[in-house]
């Protein structure tokens, strides 16, 4: 009898579990809208009464519509997802478009922006089908857009923290671009070579390739026509592009278009004009939004593997004990919470200032810094050689940032300089002692500045066979090495060594150097900044900037190239935490 009762209870549990699973399966999918193009997608309009008068309450963020934009910290839709540095009150078409969609449909919504001003479809947005059809190179912005979106879809919770595991529905592609194609020519002055002559076929290729790479063959597309600014028709290209946009949309069963010809006749629309564009865009998308766009999430993720799947980690040729030789400090940030991070190599535990969040990192957890948040390590002491100075040093860390990150780790001293951010971290003439390593978010590359003996001011090395891509999604491995005995610096980005042989520019090296310069003398050592505190982050941040650090290590010796590759591990990293 007991056995019968137990079986009955198990059956009941299975039925309840099945019901719960079925209920979860019926949850509305997250509708994702990809928005791409030039500066009018970025958004350069200041929020004000022109917005609230037409849409009362639009100044209040709404959690049911989320905005993701590489130049900002993702968050609930509201003013502030447009523009550039410090543009906390600037918006683009996403603001009103998202409001209209959010108030009409019950699904959670994600607006995913990928935009760069002053760019052409014919070159930087050039899709693979255009390359196959007419040659040329695939556009870097096209690749960046697809890479960002696929990496988000592969791991939504990083930038959409309330993600609850439900299905997603890529519900639309909004394209607002063409202004610069109306002006550019392959041969200056020869209008027969104007980019506008190829716009229609390039646009059709773009729509086809976005649908293919997302595995959504009937993906709705909204084309926002370029506006009436006279400059766009200076060479006759504007009319050609507007006609091409209209024709491509009208001949596509799953596309539509809106006009902006009756709006502000400038390169950037005024605020009432941008409100109208968002309004028209939202209304144009509603017929598609009220239906379900056929797709399979598994097929979409498979289509994105070219952007998301990393090579398998390689078998280690050196054990961890060998990598740990000379390791004087190591912070993994794997603690679940709290205001401290353990030093796994020494006794210099780190202090997390401003309660920064811990998120998923390269290995375990990482620390994310925003606003004034930073990490201080007052217990860290540089290892000094017989000269009393720093003679050998390696700094290694993983770094992820959005557009404006600085990626600073350092224990240096200097004077303020008239730059942004205003300090010595990028200046060969302002760092007077100690060392700093930075990974520039906007410019790419890695810089190492030091204060040397012999009356020198410092060094600046723009590392990089490739840039540190500041797309908000990609982790990069940064290693800076100093070996005074060899009079040498080395910088690695993602396991690749920066090239030797830089040229002088304004009395500063612009790349790695293989010869003495600015004080690399017989005794080439870094002056210790005895009163400075080792700091991770700490550079004044621009509004909506974030930086994430993981697996930070400092050695009192130069690592070999093979050991750098061991740490990089095909992009998977290794952990040297105990």
For every residue of 126-182, DSSP letters joined together read --HHHHHHH-S---HHHHHHHHHHHHHHHSGGGT-TT--S--EEEEEEEEE--TGGG
Cis ω for the linkage preceding 421 (within 30 of 0): yes
Tens of pLDDT along the chain (578 residues)? 444 444 454 445 444 444 444 444 579 999 999 999 999 999 999 999 999 999 999 999 999 999 999 878 889 999 999 986 556 789 999 999 999 999 999 999 999 999 999 999 999 999 999 999 999 999 999 999 999 999 999 989 888 989 999 999 999 999 999 999 999 998 888 889 999 999 999 999 999 999 999 999 999 999 999 999 999 999 999 999 999 999 999 999 999 999 999 999 999 999 999 999 999 999 999 999 999 999 999 999 999 998 888 777 665 555 788 999 999 999 999 997 889 999 999 999 999 999 999 988 999 999 999 888 999 999 999 999 998 999 999 999 999 887 667 788 999 887 654 444 445 555 555 667 888 888 765 555 677 777 776 554 445 555 444 455 677 788 899 999 988 887 777 888 889 887 655 443 333 333 344 333 343 444 568 889 988 999 998 776 565 678 899 999 999 999 999 999 999 998 889 999 97
CATH 2.60.120 domain residues, the chain: 374-571
Strand partners, 452: 526
75 SS3 class = strand
| Phi and psi based region of residue 454 (left: phi greater than 0; alpha: psi -120 to 50; beta: remaining) | left
Instruction: Kindly state the greatest CA–CA separation across the chain.
Output: 94
User: What six digits make up the tokens of 56?
Assistant: 């009362």
Pair 29, 88: CB distance under 8 Å: no
* Beta sheet of 350-353, edge-to-edge order: 340-341, 350-353, 374-377, 534-537, 409-414, 431-439, 446-451
* Domain 374-571 -> CATH class: mainly beta
- Kindly report whether the global pTM for this prediction surpasses the value 0.75: yes
User: What six digits make up the tokens of 169?
Assistant: 């529905």
Rounded distance between C-alpha atoms, residue 466 and residue 447, angstroms? 13
Pair 275, 51: CB distance under 8 Å: yes
Find out if CATH 1.10.3210.10 is the number for domain 29-308.
no
Rounded distance between C-alpha atoms, residue 404 and residue 85, angstroms? 8
**Torsion over CA: 54, 95, 39, 303 (sign):** negative
Residue tagged 């900044």 (tokens): 529
Long-range pairs, 20-24, Cβ under 8 A, ≥24: 24/166
> Which of 574, 163, 70 shows the shortest CA–CA distance to 359?
163
CATH 3.40.50.1110 domain residues, the chain: 29-308
């Amino acid at each position: 009898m007991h056995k019968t009762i137990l079986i009955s209870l198990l059956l009941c549990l299975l039925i309840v579990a099945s019901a719960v699973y079925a209920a979860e399966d019926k949850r509305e999918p997250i509708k994702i809208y990809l928005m791409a193009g030039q500066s009018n997608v970025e958004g350069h309009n200041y929020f004000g009464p022109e917005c609230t008068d037409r849409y009362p309450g639009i100044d209040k963020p709404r959690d049911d519509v989320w905005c993701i934009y590489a130049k900002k910290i993702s968050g609930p839709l509201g003013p502030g997802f447009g523009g550039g540095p410090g543009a906390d009150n600037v918006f683009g078409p996403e603001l009103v478009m998202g409001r209209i969609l959010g108030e009409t449909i019950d699904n959670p919504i994600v607006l995913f922006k990928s935009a760069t001003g002053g760019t052409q479809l014919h070159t930087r947005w050039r899709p693979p089908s255009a390359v196959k059809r007419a040659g040329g190179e695939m556009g870097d912005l096209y690749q960046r857009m697809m890479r960002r979106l696929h990496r988000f879809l592969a791991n939504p919770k990083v930038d959409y923290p309330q993600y609850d595991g439900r299905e997603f529905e890529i519900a639309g592609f909004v394209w607002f671009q063409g202004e610069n194609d109306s002006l550019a020519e392959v041969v200056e002055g020869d209008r027969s070579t104007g980019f506008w002559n190829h716009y229609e076929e390039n646009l059709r290729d773009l729509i086809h390739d976005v649908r293919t790479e997302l595995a959504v063959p009937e993906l709705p597309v909204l084309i926002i026509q370029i506006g009436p600014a006279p400059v766009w028709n200076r060479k006759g290209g504007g009319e050609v592009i507007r006609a091409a946009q209209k024709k491509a949309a009208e001949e596509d069963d799953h596309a539509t278009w809106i006009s902006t010809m009756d709006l502000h006749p400038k390169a950037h629309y005024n605020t009432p004009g941008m409100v109208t564009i968002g309004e028209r865009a939202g209304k144009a998308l509603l017929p598609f939004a009220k239906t379900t766009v056929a797709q399979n999430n598994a097929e979409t993720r498979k289509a994105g593997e070219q952007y998301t799947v990393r090579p398998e980690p390689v078998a280690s040729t050196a054990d961890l004990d060998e990598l740990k030789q000379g390791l004087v400090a190591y912070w993994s940030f794997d603690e679940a919470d709290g205001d401290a991070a353990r030093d796994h190599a020494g006794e210099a535990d780190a202090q997390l200032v401003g309660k920064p969040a811990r998120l998923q990192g390269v290995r375990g957890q990482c620390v994310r810094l925003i606003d004034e948040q930073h990490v201080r390590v007052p217990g860290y002491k540089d290892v000094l050689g017989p000269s009393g100075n720093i003679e050998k040093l390696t700094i290694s860390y993983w770094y992820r940032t959005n557009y404006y990150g600085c990626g600073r780790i350092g224990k240096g001293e200097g004077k303020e300089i008239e730059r942004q951010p205003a300090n010595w971290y990028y200046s060969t003439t302002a760092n007077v002692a100690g060392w700093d390593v930075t990974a520039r978010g906007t410019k790419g590359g890695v810089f190492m500045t030091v204060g040397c003996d012999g009356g020198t001011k410092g060094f600046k090395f723009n590392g990089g066979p490739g840039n540190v891509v500041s797309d908000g999604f990609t982790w990069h491995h940064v290693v800076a090495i100093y070996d005074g005995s060899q009079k040498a610096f080395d910088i690695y980005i993602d396991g690749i060594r920066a090239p030797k042989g830089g040229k002088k520019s304004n009395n500063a090296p612009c790349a790695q150097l293989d010869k003495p310069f600015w004080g690399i003398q017989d005794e080439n050592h870094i002056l210790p900044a005895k009163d400075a505190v080792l700091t991770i982050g700490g550079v004044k941040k621009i509004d909506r900037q974030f930086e994430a650090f993981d697996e930070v290590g400092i050695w009192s010796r130069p690592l070999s190239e093979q050991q750098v590759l061991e740490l990089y591990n095909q992009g998977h990293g290794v952990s040297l935490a105990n």
